[in-house]
Amino acid sequence: MHVTKINTKAKNYAFLYYFSGYLFNHIINKVLIIRHKNKHSFF
């Protein structure tokens, strides 16, 4: 039972880590795309 608890915790952390990484990449990509578009519209 104890091992299962640790396993679930590890899975939850892995999921959170993966999800936050995905969100972070998504936000950075959006910002970069917006900056890129702005550069093109300005110059």
Q: Mind listing the pLDDT tens digit for each residue in 1-42?
A: 567 787 899 899 999 999 999 999 999 999 998 887 777 665
Q: What is the pLDDT of residue 5?
A: 83
Give residue 14's pLDDT: 92
pLDDT of residue 42: 54
Q: CA-CA distance, 4 to 2, in Å (whole number)?
A: 5
| pLDDT confidence of residue 6 | 77
Sign, CA torsion 8/12/15/17? negative
The pLDDT of residue 29 is 92
